[in-house]
Structure 1
Amino acid sequence: MSDTHETLILASKSAARRAMLENAGVPFEVRVAGVDEDAVKAASRDLDAAALAVRLAEAKALAVSRDDEAAWVLGSDQTLSFDGGLVSKAPTLEAARDRLKAMRGRTHHLHSGAALAIKGQVVWSGVDTVRMRMRDFSDAFLDAYLDAEGPALLACVGSYRLEGLGSQLFEAVEGDYFTVLGLPLWPVLAELRRAGVLAA
């Protein structure tokens, strides 16, 4: 580890990302980036879902890094690809219901991108993908699930939280659990060690 204390800022309001870093013993502070995600998506129509997750993560890291050039800034974002297209967060619970019914019994992919910036420059970025297979759940289960989880689901790109009742929507998940939660944690920790934010 370097002799000087390296400050890390998480440019995300995600409680799951905060919890992952806290549980891993990573010292950090939170500053929400305030990036216009719709504008980034509109300017990135040439990218696939995985590359878009990285682009969004980079935009968040840069937005905060330009305001605090002395700190390392971690940006992260998640995208979901299903049926050949990009899925965004559902605006209403009714939309979440329709989306979950469409994904029921089928497979989709979650992409978690991350980027590390310092002095207004991205110095590292990466993405990890998880294959998610939903079970053929009943309409009754779906109704009970939506009632139990409520509007909190609208903050989740897939309208589920795997760390909660959403785990019952699935029959198989292939890939890293941390990626499902929204951060490719292992590569991020490796990069934080390289940067001197964490002890090697």
Structure 2
Amino acid sequence: MTLWRGDLPLVLASQSSARRALLDNAGLACLAEPADIDERAIQNESGLFAPYEIALHLAQAKALAVSAKRRGHHVVGADQTLALGDRMFNKPAGRDQAAQQLLALAGRTHALHSAVVVARDGEVVFSHVAVAWMSMRPLSEADVSAYLEEAGAAVITSVGAYQLEGLGVHLFDRIDGDHFTILGLPLLPLLAFFRDARLLAL
């Protein structure tokens, strides 16, 4: 059963299983259609430097790319950036880079900026950016090695080399921000938009 009341199915412009699970668990059955875009090229061409602006720009690019092919559908695009001060992080290319990222983040507080955009018929109809502050506990090289050994290949699928819903929770002392923002989809403002647009049954 779904709470979605749009004329056409909701579309998620992402291959993220975490984002799809958030929508599914909220009663919003959706179609998943990843956007075929070059995120790093779009980021570089944008000339943007602020992490929240980059997250919003990429979420918009994803939503609009899929919306162009899915006329009439509401398309959700999302993106997340991780910033430690002025330094931004991308998904690690492999285990060695994952270890380097974790050692750089250890004992410090970084920001996760999560953006969500809804597009319909090639136009943005909603956008929002939320931030969560993540305080990682001090970690030795042995701690990082043990974590990477246990976490396996999953670490290279997430920016910062951790997934808070999994073993990544062991890396942190404190978190300031909501669960949905950390998982990469600010769900509460998205649901509020859908309710205001009379697209939900609840």
TM normalised by structure 2 equals: 0.94
In 2, the alpha carbon distance for the partners of 1:111 and 1:151 equals 24
The one-letter code sitting in structure 2 at the alignment partner of 1:136 is P
1:135 counterpart residue number: 137
1:82 counterpart residue number: 84
2:68 is aligned, of 66, 69, 76, to 66
- Give the C-alpha shift of residue 137 in structure 1: 2.3
- Give the C-alpha shift of residue 87 in structure 1: 1.0
> Using a 3 Å threshold, how does the CA distance of structure 1 residues 180 and 44 change in structure 2: closer, same or farther?
same
- Give the C-alpha shift of residue 27 in structure 1: 2.0
- Give the C-alpha shift of residue 152 in structure 1: 1.6
Q: Deviations over 1:47-94 (max 9, x none)?
A: 400111111000000001001111000000100111312111111110
The one-letter code sitting in structure 1 at the alignment partner of 2:87 is G
Alignment check: 8 A CA contact 2:6 2:199 kept: no
2:155 is aligned, of 153, 156, 174, to 153
1:5 counterpart residue number: 7
2:167 is aligned, of 165, 168, 171, to 165
2:97 counterpart residue number: 95
> Using a 3 Å threshold, how does the CA distance of structure 1 residues 91 and 3 change in structure 2: closer, same or farther?
closer
1:125 is aligned, of 120, 124, 127, to 127
In 1, the alpha carbon distance for the partners of 2:114 and 2:47 equals 18
Identity %: 44
Alignment check: 8 A CA contact 1:2 1:196 kept: no
TM normalised by structure 1 equals: 0.95
- Give the C-alpha shift of residue 2 in structure 1: 9.8
- Give the C-alpha shift of residue 138 in structure 1: 2.9
- Give the C-alpha shift of residue 32 in structure 1: 0.8
1:104 counterpart residue number: 106
Q: Any runs of at least 4 consecutive aligned residues in structure 1 with deviations exceeding 4 A, and if so which?
A: 1-4
Q: Structure 1: 5+ residue runs without aligned partners?
A: none
Q: How many residue pairs end up in the alignment?
A: 200
- Give the C-alpha shift of residue 3 in structure 1: 7.5
2:35 counterpart residue number: 33
Alignment check: 8 A CA contact 1:113 1:184 kept: yes
- Give the C-alpha shift of residue 38 in structure 1: 0.9
The one-letter code sitting in structure 1 at the alignment partner of 2:92 is A
Q: 1:43 aligns to what SS in structure 2?
A: helix
Alignment check: 8 A CA contact 1:8 1:197 kept: no
Cα RMSD after superposing both structures: 1.6
The one-letter code sitting in structure 1 at the alignment partner of 2:172 is F
Q: Deviations over 1:137-158 (max 9, x none)?
A: 2322211110111222111011
Q: 2:79 aligns to what SS in structure 1?
A: strand
Q: Structure 2: 5+ residue runs without aligned partners?
A: none
